[in-house]
Structure 1
C-alpha cells in the first residue's frame, strides 16, 4: 500500500498529497468522497473491500489561506532540480545570492539559485554579469501545484486535469 493519493478540496482544487493508508482512513471515517480509483486494485480486510484510491475529495470545504511554498534551502534546490544554475553540475551544491547580500540582495525566490561551490566561489561578491557568468534559467517563485507534482515524481494521468497539466 505504498503510493500517493491526491487530496482535493470540496471545490476540486488540489490541496495536498497523502499516503494510501491515510486516504483509506479518511474514506472509512467518511470525511472524503472517492473521485478516482486504481483499476483492478482494492484494499481488503476480513469484512470490507474498498477501492484503491488515486484521488479523493473532502466532503467539507477546508478554508486554506494563500498556499505558498516556503523559502528554504531544500526548496530552492528542489526548484532548481539539484543542479548548479551556472555550470549544470550536480556536485557539492550551495545556495547563491544573484545580487550579493553585501549589495542589498535579499533572501527571495527571485534572488536565490542553486550553485556548486566552484561557481559560487568564482562569482564571489559580484553579480553574474560582473563575474562573466550566465544563469541557465531565471529564478522564479514556484507554485504550490508545481511542488505537489514534483513531490510525487511520476504523475498519474488522472491527476493532470486537477493540477492544470492536461
Structure 2
C-alpha cells in the first residue's frame, strides 16, 4: 500500500519567508490558480481527469503579501510546552502542564519569563509558593522564542523538508 500524502504544506512568501502551514488541498488550489509555485515535492503526483499536480511539501507565493506579524508568540500552554521541549523545568520528566515561576497569586504575570513547562506532580508540590521557599532552582532562564520560524514551530509538527526554509 503506498504511503499517504502529507497532510500539511509549508507556505512561503515571495521573499521565501515562512508565512503559514496550509492543508494539501489548499496548496493544490493555490498551485492550480497560479498564486503559488511548488518548491519541494516528494515525487508523487495528485491526478485528476484534466490535471496533474506534484504533491507539495513547500510552496512559494508568486506575489509578495505584506502580513503584519506579532512581535512575539503569546505564551499559551502549547507554545510553552513546545519551547521547553515537553520537559518539566523542575524535575526533567515529561511535562503536561505549565507553571508560573512567581505565582499569579503573588503578583506574577503570565509572560514568557515567568511561565515554564511542568509535570502535574511538581506543579502540585510547588502550588502557590516561590522557588526559594522550596529550595528549588530553575536549570535555565525562561525566555521568548525567537525567529520567524518560532511561529510555525510552536504551532505544528514540521516536515524534514521544511528545515532549510525555517532557519531562524
Give TM class, smaller chain: 0.7 to 0.9
SS at match of 2:163: helix
The corresponding residue for 1:12 is 16
SS at match of 1:164: coil
Question: 1:75: Cα distance to partner?
Answer: 2.3
Structure 1 consecutive aligned stretches of length 4 or more whose deviation exceeds 3 Å: none
Question: 1:161: Cα distance to partner?
Answer: 2.6
Match status 1:32 vs 2:36: yes
Q: Could you tell me which of 147, 156, 160 is aligned with 1:155?
A: 160
1:94–1:115: 8 Å Cα contact kept in structure 2? yes
2:87–2:117: 8 Å Cα contact kept in structure 1? yes
SS at match of 1:42: strand
Q: CA RMSD in A?
A: 2.2
Using the alignment, how far apart are the partners of 1:102 and 1:20 within structure 2?
A: 45
Name stretches of at least 5 consecutive residues in structure 2 with no aligned partner: none
The number of equivalent residue pairs is 161
Question: 1:26: Cα distance to partner?
Answer: 0.7
Counterpart mapping for 1:40-55 below 5 A: 41-55=44-58
SS at match of 1:52: strand
- Indicate how the Cα distance of structure 1 residues 163 and 66 shifts in structure 2: closer, same or farther if over 3 A, else same: same
Question: 1:154: Cα distance to partner?
Answer: 4.2
- Indicate how the Cα distance of structure 1 residues 82 and 24 shifts in structure 2: closer, same or farther if over 3 A, else same: same
Match status 1:78 vs 2:72: no
The corresponding residue for 1:116 is 119
Question: 1:7: Cα distance to partner?
Answer: 0.5
SS at match of 2:93: coil
The corresponding residue for 2:143 is 140
Q: TM-score, normalised by structure 2?
A: 0.82
Using the alignment, how far apart are the partners of 2:114 and 2:93 within structure 1?
A: 19
Using the alignment, how far apart are the partners of 1:34 and 1:19 within structure 2?
A: 14
1:149–1:155: 8 Å Cα contact kept in structure 2? no
SS at match of 1:120: helix
1:4–1:152: 8 Å Cα contact kept in structure 2? no
